[in-house]
Amino acid sequence: MSFFTDLARQYIDGEWRGGSGSWDNIDVNPYNGEKLASITTATVEEVDLAYRAAERAQQAWGATNPYTRRLVFEHALLVVEEHEQEITEALVAELGSTRLNAAYEVHLVKEFLREAVHLPMRAEGRLITSPVDGKENRVYRVPVGVVGVITPFNFPFLLAVRSVAPALSLGNAVVLKPHEEAPICGGALVAKLFEDAGLPSGLLNVVITDIAEIGDAMIDHPVPKVISFSGSDAVGRHVARVCGGHFKHAILELSGNSALTVLDDADIDYAVDAAVFSRYVHQGQVCMAANRILVDRAVEQEFTEKFTAKVAALKTGDPSDPETVIGPVINSAQADAITAVVAQSLAEGGTALVAGRAEGNLVEPTVLTGLPPDSPVLRQEIFGPVALLIPFDGEDEAVRIVNDSPYGLSGAVHTADVERGVRFARRIDTGMIHVNDSTVHDEPAVSFGGEKRSGLGRLNGEHMVDAFTTQKWISVQHGRRTFPF
C-alpha cells in the first residue's frame, strides 16, 4: 500500500471519500519538496457529517462490553507491528523525521496502544455511603460521548493515537483533525489503523481541512463534549475561550520553554549527552525540548567545550540517511522564524558558539550564549535547533532563572545527589521534570501536562479516565423514606 496515494482522502462514517472544499491541501516532503499527496479540504458540512456519524455510532459502542472493546486495540497493535517499516518511511517522508526519530515515535505509539488495551477496565464506579437511612449511592463512570481531537505536525502519529486510542477504548467516538502539514501520518493513517483493527464504522472520523475553510467548526460544533488540542499556546488560548463559551471540557497540551539544569556536581559527559538530545531531537520541534541549558559556573567551561563539540559534529541533511541527526524543519516559514530568532539574539549581544547555516528547510544546529537577562528570546518557545546556554551561580539563582518563563511544561536537572535533584525539581514551576535524564520523556501510564501557558489538564494513565469519561450519580432508596411534608 502507498499511504500517500491510497489514503489521501477524508474518512467519514466508515467511508473514504473526497472533500468538497474550495482548494486542495498539498502534502509535500519538507526535505526535497516532492509532492506526496493532494487532498481536497473538508468543509463545515463535512465536519458536521463526521460529528453526526460519531454521535450515531457512539451509543452502541459505549454499551459494548469493555472486554470486547479492548480487542480492537490488541489488533491495532498487531497492525502497527506488521506495517512498522512502512509507517517509519512515511514519517520520514512527510515530516522530515530522521529514521531514529521516526522509530522512536512508532515505539511510543505501540506503548500507548498497549495501555489502551487495559483502559476499558479502569472506568470503575464507586459505592458511597449516605446519611439517609436505606439509601445506596452509586457513582458510575460513563463515556463523555464524542471527542474532538486536533493535533500538530510534530510527532503527529503519536499525538493522534495518544488521545484517539484512550477516548475510543473508554467508549467514546472521535472526530480527528490532523495538522495540514501532516494529513497522512497524523490523520488518514490513524483511520486506516483502526479500520484494519476492526473498529466499527462511524466511531473514528478524520477530516483533513484548515481553519481558513471551517473556522471554529471543530470546536464549537454542538456534538463533541471534550476537545483535546495539542499545539501552540496562542491557538490553545482561543480553543479554551470557545470551549468555555460552549461549556465543553478542553484538554490543552501547549507550548514549552523547558530548561535542563546542570548543577556543580553533575556527571558532565552524561549531562552533555542528555542536553544534546533534549535540545536537538526532531530538529528541536518538540514542545518538551530544552530551549535553555543552565550550567553552574563551576563547571561551565568544561560543559560548554564538550557540549559545543558534540553539537558541531551533528550531521544535518537527508532524513532518510541513517547517519543524519538533524533533518529539515517542517516548512520555510519555520526555517525563517528560527533564523530570525538567531539574528535577534545576536543583535541583542548574544554570541554564537556554534553558528549553524540555513539552506531551504535544513537548519543546522546553533548554540548561543551571553543573551541579556531581559531578552524576550529567553522566555519564548524556539521550535528549532537552537540552544541557549545560561550560566548561574548556585541553586537559588538557577531556580529563579528557570521559573522566569510564562511556560511550565517539562524540565531536567543533573546532579550526583539524587535527593538534591528532587529538592531542586520540587522548586520548579512545571508539570514534569526529570532528575538525571532528558527533558523529552513520555510514558503512557504517567501524568503528562504543563503549568502556566503550557496547558490545561493531564493525559496518560488514570488521567485518561478523567479526561474521557464523566461521573454519574444514581441513588437507590431501599424501603420507604420519610419526607418533611
Assign residue 42 a region: left if phi > 0, alpha if psi is -120 to 50, beta otherwise? beta
419 is catalytic: no
Instruction: Output the CA–CA distances (angstroms, integers) from residue 53 to 11, 74, 190, in the order listed.
Output: 11, 24, 17
> In 10 A of CB 477, how many CB atoms?
12
- 3-34 burial string, b = 16+ CB within 10 Å, else e? bbeebbbbbbbbebeebebeeebebbbbbeee
Q: Which three cell numbers stand for residue 263?
A: 548543577
Q: Which of 46, 253, 381, 395 is catalytic?
A: 253
Beta pairing, strands 126-128 & 35-40: unpaired
Active-site position among 287, 364, 381, 395: 287
CB-based contact 197:167 (threshold 8 Å): no
Backbone angles phi, psi at 153, to 5 degrees: -85, -20
287 is catalytic: yes
Annotated catalytic sites, by residue? 253, 287
